Structure 1
């Protein structure tokens, strides 16, 4: 009579138990309801959206969180819904083992606020339009004059350069776009206008203005200037 190999039997039994537990756990996990929506903003710099607003967007898409199973949630669809929102740069949505629907939101960053006769709105770094928010007002330059969504792209490089520079973002408060395409900037500290010209040689012109300001601030005569012209890349021309 052949002797039973109990070691092999135990090994087979353990394997079957592990398969059963895995299948049982997988089934229980698939039947688990979404118990909570966890929303986190990656940056607190621009709070155009609130947790409640994002929560409502998600609930509108799949109904109440407690009424739907985890495996029924289409994460890609939810991400697409959030990404389509004009205030959201990027959204990540994933579910956790304990039944949480976790959402990570990166909001868009406005670089200017455009003011026309009919409306007012923000533009982000890519020229995308953003509506104003009742929750937050961004401290960005106000842009007026001959500008619209259709012709803003030539000026975006200038606006982005101002935004990313710590001194310029604090000093430049406005930009007027003339019919000729020239730009006139305003500053926070003094009454003079900065005649920038067309948005070409942007980096050189801004560098010249910063050098002028750092030198002129040491002299009280800066208060008497009415115009600072940086159109010519080789020099800065001031008028009293």
Structure 2
């Protein structure tokens, strides 16, 4: 009579139990409903969006989180919906076993505010349009004159250079685009106009302006100037 191999039987039973528990837990986890949305903004510098606005946007696409099962939530689709929002640079979404839907959102950073006869909006570093927000007003240079959504990209390098320079971002408050395409900048502290010219040789011209400014401050002559012309990259021409 063949002896029963209890070791093999126990091993088979253990395997069946593990498969059953795994299937049971997987089924329960897939049936778990979204219990909470945790929204965090990666930067507090810009607050165009609020937690409530993002939450409402999600609920619109989920159809109400209290009735949605975890396995019914398409995270990629939700990320795409948020990434397409004009105020969001990047959205990351992931869920946890306890039913939490976690979101990490990076908002777009405005570099200038454009004001036209019919509209007013921000531009980010890529030239994408950002609508004004009731929740936040960015301290960026105002851009007026002959500028539109069609030609704004021609001036992006200049705007980015100003935004990314600590000195210039504090001193330059406005830019006027002339019909000729020339740019005239405004300084926060003094009344003279800065004739920048066409959006070319941006780094060199701005470097010349910074050198002029620091020298003029030392000579105490800066209050006497009415115009500072940067169009000639070899020199700065001033008018009193």
TM-score normalised according to structure 1 size: 0.97
Show the counterpart of 1:21. 21
Instruction: Count the aligned residue pairs.
Output: 240
Q: Distance in 2 between matches of 1:179 and 1:33?
A: 58
Q: 2:93 — aligned with what? A: 93
State the alpha-carbon separation in 2 of the partners of residues 157 and 9 from structure 1: 74
2 CA distance for matches of 1:93 and 1:147? 37
* Residue in 1 that maps onto 2:107: 107
| 2:52 aligned partner | 52
| Separation (CA, whole Å) in 2 of partners of 1:38 and 1:217 | 51
Distance in 1 (CA, whole Å) between partners of 2:17 and 2:218 is: 82
| Displacement after TM superposition at 1:217 (Å) | 1.5
Q: Partner residue of 2:151?
A: 151
Unaligned runs of 5+ in 1: none
Task: State the TM-score, normalizing by the size of structure 2.
Answer: 0.97
| Residues in 2 aligned to 1:226 and 1:83: alpha-carbon distance in whole angstroms | 46
| Counterparts of 2:238 and 2:130, CA distance in 1 | 36
Deviation at 1:164, TM superposition (A): 0.9
Cα distance in 2 for partners of 1:7, 1:149 equals: 76
Q: Deviations over 1:67-89 (max 9, x none)?
A: 11111111122112111111011
Question: What CA distance in whole angstroms lies between the structure 1 residues aligned with 2:162 and 2:4?
Answer: 82
Question: What's the offset of the Cα at 1:126?
Answer: 1.0
Shift in Å at residue 160 of structure 1?
A: 0.7
Aligned-residue Cα RMSD (Å) equals 1.0
Q: Give distance in 2, aligned partners of 1:189 and 1:19.
A: 74
- Distance of 1:48 and 1:98 partners within structure 2: 30
Structure 2 distance, partners of 1:191, 1:11, is 87
User: CA-to-partner distance for each residue in 1:59-116, whole Å, 9 max, x for gaps?
Assistant: 0111221111111111122112111111011111221111011111111111100011
- CA distance in 1 between counterparts of 2:147 and 2:201 reads 20
Aligned equivalents of 1:9, 1:141: Cα separation in 2: 78
Distance 2:190 2:14 in 1: 81
Q: 2:30 matched to 1:30? A: yes
Q: Distance in 2 between matches of 1:79 and 1:228?
A: 48
Please say if 1:224 is aligned against 2:224. yes
What secondary structure does 2:57 align onto? helix
- Offset at 1:194? 0.7
The 5-angstrom pairing of residues 1-240 of structure 1 reads 1-240=1-240
Deviation at 1:48, TM superposition (A): 0.3
Distance (Å, rounded) in 2 between the aligned partners of 1:230 and 1:88: 36
